[in-house]
Structure 1
Amino acid sequence: MRWSEHAIWWQVYPLGFTGAEPQALPPDAPPVHRLSHIADWLDHLVGLGCNGLALGPVFASETHGYDTVDHLRIDSRLGTEEDLRGLVDQAAERGVRIVLDGVFNHVGRGFPAFADVDARGRDSRYATWFTVDPATGDYRTFEGHHRLVALNHEEPAVADHVVEVMCHWLELGIAGWRLDAAYTVPQAFWRTVTDRVRARFPDVWFVGEVIHGDYAAFVDKGGLDSVTQYELWKALWSSCNDRNLYELAWALDRHNALLDAFVPMTFLGNHDVTRIASRLDDERHLAPTLAVLLTLGGHPSVYSGDEQAFRGVKEERVGGDDAVRPAFPPLPSGLAPYGAAHQRLHQQLIGLRRRHPWLTRARSTVRLLTNTTLVYTLSDGRQSLAVALSLGEDPVRLPLPDGDWRHAVGPGSVDRGEVELPTAGWLVATAAGPIAEAG
């Protein structure tokens, strides 16, 4: 069984997490060894029940990490290659694997190959690495961002470069790659790269950032292992805000279909979206959305701070990501006490998932559905789970399928085949053995 089968991720955006400067340091400035700050949080990660650390950009860049200027050098605001090696080694001592953020759709304008093209035009040896947009007369960019110049993925030398970069850091000891903006890159390019890298590192894990579209086809044609499950993310908070659990039920059906082809990366938050605690209109729904995330099939990812119910709203402006990418204290002991209860809930639910490892590929079956109530079950034939949710303002009793159900976690109770939920309540129950098929 591959190590990735039961990975549960804690995601960190390093430049924000460590309080790094917003701009690259001067070339003659000594590196600031901030990656050790992240190493000091590894026990926190393990204490949650996670076993994977998904790092945002760590390579030399001009500002926020996604305007890369050197894929083979650690950003001096974070430290050196030795610092990353130390983080990888300390993580490995705890059974934690690290995935890096690969920004291979675009580069910063200071990327040496582009700087050469910008200066020499067609005479540059890198002229074919970039293409001109006939509509603007300038080089193609990522979604109109002038500072982010798109690479030409039809150029074989670009694929050679990406393979070189991936293999360099895999040799150092990382376990895989998150492919940033994977949806903008031709799938054939990813297939070329992933096949070549797997030939050298068979155990490598690739997850692509894909927002919408045919997820399964992207995994298959791109040679990836997983993609980000944005459809489920949207349904989780939107169905609560609208008091419309039919939307979530539809997303569960879609999720089941995806699990027939691959295991998606599931999440409630990441460095690119408003924090779930700010996205939900009713803070009472924070716990049930987490319960759904951690009982459904998938590779769950917890964005650092979400386990403490951090708030933060993403805005479409310069600096609009800052609120969701804050600096963290040097040690977990520096956290304010307000999020402790939500962190304990993460530990409870991740612990439940660890005791039921079959949940990684489990399909859900909806048993009861109204606008404000939902019951679904999951089973591997030997063990079963039931999850019950209520968004209503009155206590409710909801039936469960036949089985010896017992309360596992959540503010409710199980009695004679029914769950009793308080106002805006939820509950996870467990049973030994299979359960009857839905009629």
Structure 2
Amino acid sequence: MSTPDWVRHAIWWHVYPLGATGAFPSGDKEPDGALHDLRRLVPWLDHAQRLGTNGLLLGPVFASATHGYDTVDHLRIDPRLGTETSFDELVAAAHERGLRVLLDGVFNHVAPDHPWAVAARENPDGPEAALFRRDEHGGIATFEGHGGLLALDHSRPEVRDHVVEIMEHWLERGIDGWRLDAAYTVPDEFWADVLPRVRQHFGDAWFLGEVIHGDHPAITAATTIDALTQYELWKAVWSSLNDHNPHELAWALTRHDGFVEAGSVPQTFVGNHDVTRLATVLDDRRQLPLAVVVLCTVAGSPSVYAGDEWAQQGLKEEREGGDDAVRPELPVDGELPADADQNVLALHQELIGLRRRHPWLYAARTEIEETTDRRLVYVSHGELDGTAGALRVTLDYGDGDAAPSWSVDEV
């Protein structure tokens, strides 16, 4: 397994299409022209370019029952998002602008309306019933207790073959790789079987696995997944800022560096579709730039969740519909909302530009130089394609009335 060369330069703009187009939670499941169509995202690709990103990381786009993660048909575009033509035009528009496209693959579970699940209910002894995991009572197991998410049996060859079919179908349609939703719940041997089969035909594809914690190098070695989501670093960034504890972030960066040293470069983020927005979770909004500095100056494949670049607010709550606030609708015309924080946007452009000028940061090593009760200094250094570099990053967390500050200097 080797990482495709293009990934070393990728910076992702992450969008949850059902929310961004207003298709969910409106409840409207019928096609309605341009209102919720995927083509509505095309004007936003110009924004992604101006931001400095060069990849489009899409949330679920396949036919589903509600929020996209309860798939009904992996081979059909959700009718709330338009048609196959809508999808093709979005991918073509992204590629015309030099943006790679990653799709969200939900392969751990399906909706109760999925044809396999319907057949299993109609005939509990039929072949489809054998394609699902069983709980302790012999019923179909669910994902983390959600009755609308029925867990597949990944030991079954029919399940493996179907996932290969799905992946290859959309790679053939022009995408560049897959985000593997809830990869941590799927047996390692499933990915180790499926992904090499797909790579035989699509050697330039990239696979990103969602994990919450764990030994990244061991997981990537066992699964052949290219990269894993770096939730530990995400947590340490905002938590250390809120607690004014640079030592927490220093510890997380040391662990992060160990992943990179072992050859497992994670996907990094300070916001995504599953967590409270950065501008909301921080107790002191003045510290927001420090989080973005970390994102853009340590190793990884960084992503910016749409709206975070202009300090969008949004609180995730542990209840039904609790994700809706962090997955809002984007304006139809691709223009920023009136309350967009232009200073935060300019900060993102500046730091993403720095990242683009120093592509060796993709697999940079990070060394902690100084940690005090209010200050963290680290040096990121590395080499890519014969070009080496080093950056010294200083984060001052602030103290009382003293505002937080940061600097990035070449060394």
Equivalent AA in structure 2 for residue 38 of structure 1: L
CA distance in 1, matches of 2:214, 2:346: 35
Match in the other structure for 1:117: 120
- Equivalent residues in 2 for 1:121-136 (5 A)? 121-122=124-125, 124-135=126-137
Match in the other structure for 1:298: 300
Please list the CA deviations of residues 270-321 of structure 1 after superposition, one character each: whole Å capped at 9, or x if unmatched. 0000001111111111001110110001000100000011111100111100
CA distance in 2, matches of 1:30, 1:226: 35
Tell me, yes or no, if the aligned pair for 1:32 and 1:77 is still in contact at 8 Å. no
Displacement after TM superposition at 1:392 (Å): 2.8
Displacement after TM superposition at 1:31 (Å): 5.6
Displacement after TM superposition at 1:134 (Å): 2.2
Displacement after TM superposition at 1:429 (Å): 1.3
Displacement after TM superposition at 1:126 (Å): 1.1
Tell me, yes or no, if the aligned pair for 1:60 and 1:70 is still in contact at 8 Å. yes
Equivalent AA in structure 1 for residue 86 of structure 2: D
Structure number with bigger Rg: 1
Equivalent AA in structure 1 for residue 396 of structure 2: S
Match in the other structure for 2:408: 428
1:196 aligns with 2:197: yes
With over 3 angstroms needed to count, the CA separation of the structure-2 counterparts of 1:30 and 1:353, relative to structure 1, is: closer
| TM-score normalized with structure 2 length | 0.95
Of the three residues 344, 349, 363, the one matched with 1:347 is 349
Displacement after TM superposition at 1:127 (Å): 2.1
Tell me, yes or no, if the aligned pair for 2:377 and 2:393 is still in contact at 8 Å. yes
CA distance in 1, matches of 2:154, 2:26: 28
CA distance in 2, matches of 1:61, 1:106: 12
CA distance in 2, matches of 1:265, 1:335: 28
With over 3 angstroms needed to count, the CA separation of the structure-2 counterparts of 1:347 and 1:9, relative to structure 1, is: same
RMSD over aligned Cα atoms: 1.5
CA distance in 2, matches of 1:30, 1:43: 25
Of the three residues 54, 59, 77, the one matched with 1:56 is 59
Please list the CA deviations of residues 2-55 of structure 1 after superposition, one character each: whole Å capped at 9, or x if unmatched. 1111110000000000000437656xx446441011111001001111000000
The count of corresponding residues between Structure 1 and Structure 2 is: 401
Match in the other structure for 1:399: none
CA distance in 2, matches of 1:386, 1:259: 18
- Equivalent residues in 2 for 1:305-320 (5 A)? 305-320=307-322
Match in the other structure for 2:145: 144
Greater relative CO (CA pairs within 8 A, separation 6+)? 2
- Equivalent residues in 2 for 1:381-420 (5 A)? 382-393=388-399
CA distance in 1, matches of 2:153, 2:184: 15
1:200 match: secondary structure: coil
Equivalent AA in structure 2 for residue 151 of structure 1: L
CA distance in 2, matches of 1:394, 1:309: 23
CA distance in 1, matches of 2:26, 2:20: 15
CA distance in 1, matches of 2:354, 2:206: 25
CA distance in 2, matches of 1:393, 1:25: 49
Tell me, yes or no, if the aligned pair for 1:24 and 1:61 is still in contact at 8 Å. no
Displacement after TM superposition at 1:114 (Å): 0.9
Tell me, yes or no, if the aligned pair for 1:88 and 1:174 is still in contact at 8 Å. yes
Tell me, yes or no, if the aligned pair for 1:25 and 1:76 is still in contact at 8 Å. no
Q: Percent identity?
A: 54
Match in the other structure for 1:4: 7
Tell me, yes or no, if the aligned pair for 1:24 and 1:77 is still in contact at 8 Å. no
Match in the other structure for 1:406: none
Displacement after TM superposition at 1:220 (Å): 1.1
Match in the other structure for 1:69: 72
CA distance in 2, matches of 1:213, 1:43: 37
- Equivalent residues in 2 for 1:88-107 (5 A)? 88-107=91-110
Runs of 4+ in 1 over 3 A off after TM superposition: 23-26, 29-33
Of the three residues 252, 269, 272, the one matched with 2:271 is 269
CA distance in 2, matches of 1:317, 1:289: 27
Displacement after TM superposition at 1:337 (Å): 4.5
Please list the CA deviations of residues 380-438 of structure 1 after superposition, one character each: whole Å capped at 9, or x if unmatched. 3743211111113279xxxxxxxxxxxxxxxxxxxxxxxxxx6311111123xxxxxxx
CA distance in 1, matches of 2:218, 2:160: 21
